[in-house]
Amino acid sequence: LHIDAQAIIALNAGVDPNKIYEGQKLNMPTAGSTAAAGAAPARCTGTHTVVKGENLFRIAYNCGLTTEQMAAANGITFPYTIYPGQVLKFP
């Protein structure tokens, strides 16, 4: 099974892909999923509560959106600062 590194990164928002350590638990795409095949991420709906370590770019990217689209939908201005516990809505 070939799994694209970007698919693993997309499923693990808040995890620094440059600082993975032994024993760390990561979400992995399942065989046959669009993430495993390297397809574009699915669009998200509803809301998302920000957790420590997340950033607006990664949340948007994981849902096939741009940072600017997520910022506009939530009234966030540059430099796009978000906080743990903040509830974001998807456009």
Report which of 1, 26, 32, 23 is spatially closest to residue 11, judged by C-alpha positions: 26
Q: What is the pLDDT of residue 37?
A: 46
Q: Maximum Cα–Cα distance for the chain, whole Å?
A: 41
Q: What is the pLDDT of residue 81?
A: 95
Q: What is the pTM of this model?
A: 0.56
Return per-residue pLDDT of the chain as tens, 91 residues: 567 777 788 777 778 888 888 888 888 776 555 444 445 555 788 899 999 989 999 898 888 888 999 999 999 999 899 999 999 999 8
Q: What is the pLDDT of residue 88?
A: 95
Q: Give the C-alpha separation, 91 to 77, whole Å.
A: 16
